[in-house]
Structures are given as structure tokens and as C-alpha cells.
Amino acid sequence: MSVSSSRWDIFCAVIDNFGDIGICWRLSRQLASEHGVNVRLWVDDLASFQRICPQINVDEMQQTVAGVNIMLWSARTSWAEYSVADVVIEALACTIPMPYQQQMATYDVKPLWLNLEYLSAEDWVEGCHGLPSPQPHLPLDKYFFFPGFTAATGGLLQETALQQHAQSFSADTVAQQQFWQQLDIKDPSYYAQKISLFAYDHPQLSTLVNCWRQSGQTILCLVPEGALATQLSGLYPQLSISRELVIDALTIKILPFMPQDDYDKLLWACDINFVRGEDSIIRAHWAGKPFIWQIYRQQQQAHLEKLNAFMLRYCAQMPVDTCEAVQQFWLQWNTDGLLDKSWQKFSANLVQIAEYNRLWRVALTANGDLASNLVHFVEKKFIMRRNFS
């Protein structure tokens, strides 16, 4: 069997944000468009899906968008009506329904079952990537597939032409102007600095806002809808009414939730990008601009171990002063610390950070992209089956 003739099922459970469906949708589209894979994407929340992909019809149990078969996964799904795919991906800690698993076990040639894990920079990921896990309850193996930042992992999601699109957008003043007009920004050149702020709420947010309003340069802060936009509206009630506020040198503008392609343009168009979770941090890497990652919070500060592992890898080749500025602000941003002094140090290193991030992007691209690495992994397993069957 070839990959192009195989059928893939990807299961996605939307938890409490949009990162899970964001990752699964980008992966599904790329598999279909660049690798000719017949993809069926099972999603348990079409309303959240529609926020990042307006073409989704929330009333349809089955639909096709961008070459991907979209299926509603619910408690009422009759799994006996659907054949099992050749490749089954359990994405981001979701659990495939037991009737589907049981059906997988009845096949003479078992489906290739992959557990697509969350992104991590921790060292142990390399040792677990690609390993099988025999299932105790059924005669099936499940393989771990880890996205990551080294060649010994699955790499990061990146469409083949993504960087070319970004470069074309950055060189096209008409396209940029149309994008700003779409956001109701009449004169983007008025602002010395444009910042996208996509994050979870932060108890010290006002200290950062005060830094920006007193910075002495005109700043435009663009805030996509979400928890932090709600927090800002609580601090500044006018934002709830007009969705725009000018405070001294700072202009804050709340943006409606954006489709994925428009969000990419936002990252390309801004000078600094605050991102959160998994999907937006990956896109920030490819934008090549200075970025600040707010990692998904876990109980007992467990997320800080993952953050420190990433900072250690990301900052390994940075100049010492730049490294200290980045790590200090990132830790303050992820531990609810005061932000004024650490922001001043971070912003003083923006030129150096931008230069470094372009080199970092080159290094990440050399690892291959997640979709292609997945396809290569599946091809090897198919070849092994033919040779040893």
C-alpha cells in the first residue's frame, strides 16, 4: 500500500481552547493538499472549529472542506457504520472511542495507530519518539509520534510554501494595506511598533500596559478575542463598547477571532508577537519576529519545566545579554511576575532577537516538517509490513 492510496483518520477532541483543532486542521489540510492523503478528521466540537475555519457548517455531521472529510464525533456516532482507516491518529491526548478500537483489532492487517503527542522540548522526547506501545486490552500497537525542535523528533508543522507566502506578503505593500484595512487600521505607518497580544489572562497585565503607554513611541497593540481581551475590557471598560482605546502613546484594539490564514498575516505584519499554547507558538517561529510564549498552565507549576526545557534549547546560541533578557521576561510572563523592568530589557534587545530568530527558523526548517515526517514514518512501516508479511 502507498501513502497516496491509504485512508487516514485523525481524531481531535477540543478541550478548552483552539490549539488542538488548530493543529489538527493544519495537519489534515497539509496531508491532503501536499501528500494526496485521503483524510477523515473526526472533531467533537464544530462550533469551535468554525471559529478558525468559517467554511465549517456546524449543522452538518459530514462535510468536505479543503479536500478534508470533516466528521462530527459525538456520543451518538454509530461507529459500526464506518470502516476503519489504514492510518489512525489519536491527536493530542484524546482517546479514540472504544468501539472504533475494537473494530481496529478485528482486522487481519491492523491499522497503523499513531499517538500524536503535544509539543515538547524536553530531552526524553527524542528517546520515546517513534516507539511502539503494546495495548494491554487489545492486540494492537500504538506508536508515539512527538513534534519537536530537533531532527530526532517529528519536527513542526510547516506547509511547503509558508515562508514563501510570508516573504511575498512582507514585500507586497498593497496586500499589507488591504490586511490593515480589513482590521480597520487606517494608517498603520503612524505606529512605530505593532504588537500582537494573544495570551491567557495575566494579573500583572496593567504593568505591561503602563510600560507601553509611557514608552515615548507610538504603539499599536492588537488583541484577538479571548481571555486576555476580556481582562483588558475589565481594566478599560471603553474597550467593551468601542473595541479601541487610545492611552497616551498606546492604542489598544480588540480584534474578532481570526481564521488561521489571517492570523498568520497578523504575525507577519507585527513587530512583536505574544502567543499562547501550541498552534500559535509554532506559527510565531515561522514568522521570524521577536515572540513571547505563554505556555499552557498546569497544576503545581508543572508547565515551567516544559518552558525551561524550551528556553534552554531555543536560547542555546543567543548572545549572553540577549539570552538573559529573553529568559527573564518569559519567566515573568509565565509566573505572573511584575513586567515593567523585564520588558524594558527585552525591548532593548529586539533587533538582536529578530536576527537570531531568523537563524533559529532556518535550523528548525532543516528538521523537516511534521506532516512530511509523519508520511515518511508511515511509508517505512508499510514497507516493513510488505517485507515481513
Could you list the active site residues?
20, 278
C-alpha cell at 354: 529578530
Which residues lie closer than 8 Å to 205 by C-beta, 6 or more apart?
A: 228, 231, 232, 235, 339
Query: What single letter denotes the amino acid at residue 132?
Result: P
Which residues lie closer than 8 Å to 119 by C-beta, 6 or more apart?
A: 147, 148, 156, 278, 281, 282
Q: How does DSSP assign 219-281, residue by residue?
A: EEEEEESSHHHHHHHHHSTHHHHHSEEEETTEEEEEEPP--HHHHHHHHHH-SEEEEETTHHH
From the CB of residue 190, how many other CB atoms can be counted at a distance below 10 Å?
10
Sheet holding 112-116, edge to edge: 62-65, 68-72, 38-43, 7-12, 87-91, 112-116, 141-145, 132-134
Direct distance between the N- and C-terminal alpha carbons of the chain, in angstroms, rounded to an integer:
13
Which residues lie closer than 8 Å to 383 by C-beta, 6 or more apart?
A: none
Rg (CA), the chain: 22
